[in-house]
Amino acid sequence: MTPRINFWQWISYSLRIRRVEYRIAEVPLFLMPALLAAQDTTHLSSMVFWEGLLAFLFLFSFGDLVNCLADRDLDAVYKPQLTQAVYGLGTTGVAIQAVVSVACSFAFTLHLAWTLERFVLLPMFGGGVFLAWAYSMDPLRLKARGLWQLGFYWLGLFAGPMTFTACLFTWPPPTEVLLFSLTFGLLQTGVILVNTAEDFPEDRDLGVRTIIVFTGLRAGLRLALGLAVLGWISLLSVIAWIGYHLGSGLGVLFAGIGPLLMAGGFVSVSLLRLVVDLPPSEADSIARAKRAARLVPVWITSCALTSLWAAAMLFWLRTGVRS
């Protein structure tokens, strides 16, 4: 039986299962392709922008709600605050919130597709809903299917939503936006694998075959390092390539990519130290990975914000900030 909670507890629990600590890193996923695809500043203050942002955030909320609902018992040991929130609201209550979130996202997407006469947005939205559901829920449960989880992170969590956003402003999405999205997604996928490594022992014990369980902890962390470094270098190269074709001088280009250079370097060095200093004992290695995972929100956010800064620089070069 669901315990009775007051209004403020309901608000607190509802925010908790939406993982609001990651919103500061998720909003740039919308803003970056918007800056890279928008023709001028009027596009960034239009109803298309705001409706698209709401559709985007509601869809991400749906994914978070479904994930918390599916993992409510799995989270009981190491993320008890999420389990408490799910059972505090009741599984039916969480399911209702998930349905409302996806319905709101669909309503905004449908209106945008109709207004823009860009009906390709609807199957893209449908694909996003399917992946958000399939990641956590049976029978597919991609998070428990090894390499499929890796593919979801890269394409479903990062590159796909960014491409959807670009399609709000132009069709077809420009090559530079696709390259930016793919390389940024690769960088962030490497980082988020450390967060997956945090749950390695309980996932393994419960038979949840995540990418880290599939590869093993050590190999998984080496994979995280490799993807993050490859994504970081590739993203810097894409930004430099776009800036060069826009006629950017070296000073302006460095001002744009300098923060990302430092943030990505910091993350890469941190991951390298994690891999190199991993203790021989599995128990100690798990403890080390869990300590490192506490920094994942900082790493993800720093890479997102510095990449957003670079995208803003490219927008300025391309448009001259003309309205």
Segment 56-86, tens digit of pLDDT: 999 999 999 999 999 888 777 778 898 999 9
Residue-wise burial string across 47-75, b where 16 or more C-beta atoms lie within 10 A, e elsewhere: ebbebbbebbbbbbbbbbbbbbbbbbebb
- Judge whether residue 321 has pLDDT over 80: no
pLDDT band at 89 (very low <50, low <70, confident <90, very high): very high
The whole-angstrom separation of Cα 226 and Cα 207 is 26
Residue 242 maps to a domain:
yes
State the pLDDT at residue 2. Answer: 59
Residue 4 maps to a domain:
no
State the pLDDT at residue 323. Answer: 40
State the pLDDT at residue 116. Answer: 95
The stretch 268-272 carries a mean pLDDT of 96
The stretch 273-294 carries a mean pLDDT of 91
Q: Find where tokens 């390499």 sit.
A: 147
- Judge whether residue 120 has pLDDT over 90: yes
State the pLDDT at residue 62. Answer: 96
Residue 294 maps to a domain:
yes
Which DSSP state fits 124?
H
Who has greater pLDDT, 198 or 220? 220
Residue 2 maps to a domain:
no
3-state secondary structure of 145: strand
pLDDT band at 23 (very low <50, low <70, confident <90, very high): confident
State the pLDDT at residue 1. Answer: 54
- Domain hosting residue 89, numbered range: 21-319
pLDDT band at 322 (very low <50, low <70, confident <90, very high): very low
Who has greater pLDDT, 317 or 230? 230
State the pLDDT at residue 208. Answer: 85
- Judge whether residue 50 has pLDDT over 60: yes
The domain tally of the chain equals 1
Q: Are the C-beta atoms of residues 137 and 71 closer than 8 Å to each other?
A: no
Segment 307-316, tens digit of pLDDT: 999 999 999 9
Angle at which helix 47-70 crosses helix 121-136, to 10 degrees, equals 20
State the pLDDT at residue 25. Answer: 81
